[in-house]
Amino acid sequence: MLFLYDIALSLYGLLLRLLAPFVPKAAAWVAGRRGLLAHIRQTLGTDSGPRVWFHCASLGEFEQGRPLLEAYRKAHPGTKLVLTFFSPSGYEIRKSWPGADYIFYLPLDTRGNARAFLDAVRPQLVVFVKYEFWYHFLNESHRRGIPAIVVSAIFRPDQVFFRPWGGFFRRILTRFAHIFTQNEASAALLRNLGLAQVSVAGDTRFDTVVATAAALPRPLPLVDAFVADGAPVLVVGSSWPEDLPALTPLLQRYQHELRVLVAPHEISETNLRLVEAVLPGQVQRYSQADPATVAQARILLFDNVGLLSQLYRFGKYAYIGGAFGKGLHNTLEAAAFGLPLFFGPTYAKFQEAVELVELECAFPVHNAQELEAAFTYLWHNEKARLRLQDIMLDYVHGQAGATARILQALSMGNIKQ
């Protein structure tokens, strides 16, 4: 199986190189790894201090691990933090993040790359966030006696680890010194495999969103001008084109009563024009806005990245994109402000979304008619909306604390390879 794993990764790297001239993300992936190991060796060569290596697949995992990164730095000021990303969408946005001392792409998972990378980084601890279980990096860390942990991990019975033919992938899990899961169901699945180094810590994302909601808000004068008339605000976060057929009738029906902040998941001219077509002449792009133009618009369209988590504080309702496609995007940023949530039908793999639906704080819909019905119910029932808000805020704050639990376990010195 290891032979097939190595072949598959080699083919994956080859495919990305072939796609690079035509696909910008593939081009960024390939360019970012050109001369990467030499760059890492040169960058770290003169720094002899202790280091901890954190790995995040992409931007979402970074935001999930961010509270632990920040808390670890505060608790261990003499330790340098090395942060790696697999995806360009994480690295390109966070490559200058000041919370880590060094930020790199992760080399492709080969035996040689793993050895060269660990020779250069020399971490005393390895932390993977949520998933991406790379065999050679974890196996080589284990061979060298470097403890590796994974945090905010979540497992489902249909994953490869729990299939009869999943022995190779189960072996990867044994290379972790400890696995901190989001919930008891995940921990039980791992214990049934005979893994003892497992504990439930919760999801560190709750710590992030609680801190964001409590922090001094970032000044956004254009948004202030947009919402100045006091009309209720719907925040549409991480929308995809597939979300628009359900959203469009709602936005058209309430266009004179509602103001809408739209932050597409991918900023492309095609996606921006699709949103502009929903209410022609009433959509203002953020990059082209001034206080006068936003006051006249009904939809403020964000053609930049990095502001979404700050937008939910302006909202009264939230629609979260992605669930009419591959899967739902981050619901917790909106939940931290107590906003009722609406999204498409593909959400079952996201524990917090399932729990919010069970609490009747979130409303999955299959089409425009269901979305309009759910929204209209809350629009005309302020008492129900306020009750929902209280339930949601209690839920979010009750789930916080994973970062402190993980740090406490690390500080006790019980996690060793």
Which of 241, 234, 245, 247 shows the shortest CA–CA distance to 299?
234
At residue 5, the pLDDT reads 95
pLDDT of 132 > 90? The answer is: no
Q: What share of the chain is helix, strand, coil (3-state, %, to 5)?
A: 50, 15, 35
User: Identity (one letter) of the amino acid at 372?
Assistant: E
At residue 180, the pLDDT reads 97
Read off the pLDDT of each residue in 42-48 and give the average, rounded to a whole number: 89
Distance CA 370, CA 319 (A): 13
- Residues contacting residue 243 through CB under 8 Å, at least 6 positions apart: 236, 319, 321, 322, 324, 344
Q: What stretch of H or E contains 55?
A: strand 51-56
pTM: 0.85
pLDDT of 414 > 70? The answer is: no
Distance CA 239, CA 309 (A): 14
Domains of the chain: 12-202+401-411 (3.40.50.11720), 213-399 (3.40.50.2000)
Six token digits for residue 170: 């189960």
At residue 13, the pLDDT reads 95
Distance CA 302, CA 287 (A): 7
In which residue are the tokens 């979130």 written?
362
User: Which stretches within 193-284 are classed as H helix?
Assistant: 205-214, 221-226, 244-253, 269-276
> What are the DSSP E strand ranges found in 254-411?
259-264, 283-285, 299-301, 317-320, 341-343, 362-364
C-alpha distances (whole Å) from 31 to each of 17, 88, 110 are 9, 10, 18
Read off the pLDDT of each residue in 237-246 and give the average, rounded to a whole number: 96
Which of 68, 55, 63 shows the shortest CA–CA distance to 404?
68
User: Which stretches within 23-103 are classed as H helix?
Assistant: 24-32, 36-44, 59-75, 88-94
Q: Render pLDDT for 61-75 as a digit per residue (tens, 0 to 9).
A: 998 999 999 999 999
State the pLDDT confidence band at 416, using cuts at 50, 70 and 90: low
Q: Are 53 and 82 in contact (CB under 8 A)?
A: yes
Q: Render pLDDT for 166-181 as a digit per residue (tens, 0 to 9).
A: 999 999 999 999 999 9
At residue 45, the pLDDT reads 87
Distance CA 264, CA 337 (A): 20
pLDDT of 328 > 80? The answer is: yes
Cα–Cα–Cα angle for 368, 373, 376, rounded to 5 degrees: 120
Six token digits for residue 298: 């009904």
Q: How many CA atoms lie within 13 A of 311 on its CB side?
A: 28
- 166-171 contacts, C-beta under 8 A, 24 or more apart: 167/1, 168/1, 168/2, 168/5, 168/135, 169/133
Read off the pLDDT of each residue in 3-9 and give the average, rounded to a whole number: 94
Q: Render pLDDT for 360-381 as a digit per residue (tens, 0 to 9).
A: 999 999 999 999 999 999 999 9
Six token digits for residue 122: 């020399």
Q: Render pLDDT for 75-113 as a digit per residue (tens, 0 to 9).
A: 999 999 999 999 998 999 899 999 999 999 999 999 999
DSSP code at position 85: E
Q: Is the dihedral of CA 156, 157, 159, 160 positive or negative?
A: positive
Distance CA 393, CA 336 (A): 6
pLDDT of 27 > 70? The answer is: yes
Helix (H, G, I), strand (E, B) or coil at 304: coil
User: Which stretches within 227-290 are classed as H helix?
Assistant: 244-253, 269-276
Q: Are 249 and 319 in contact (CB under 8 A)?
A: no
C-alpha distances (whole Å) from 109 to each of 33, 175, 366, 368, 391 are 12, 15, 39, 44, 44
At residue 326, the pLDDT reads 87
pLDDT of 288 > 80? The answer is: yes
Q: What percent of the chain has pLDDT over 70?
A: 99
What average pLDDT is seen over the chain?
A: 94
pLDDT of 36 > 70? The answer is: yes
C-alpha distances (whole Å) from 278 to each of 252, 260, 283, 340 are 7, 12, 8, 23
Neighbours of 370 (CB within 10 A): 16
DSSP 395-406: HHHHH--HHHHH
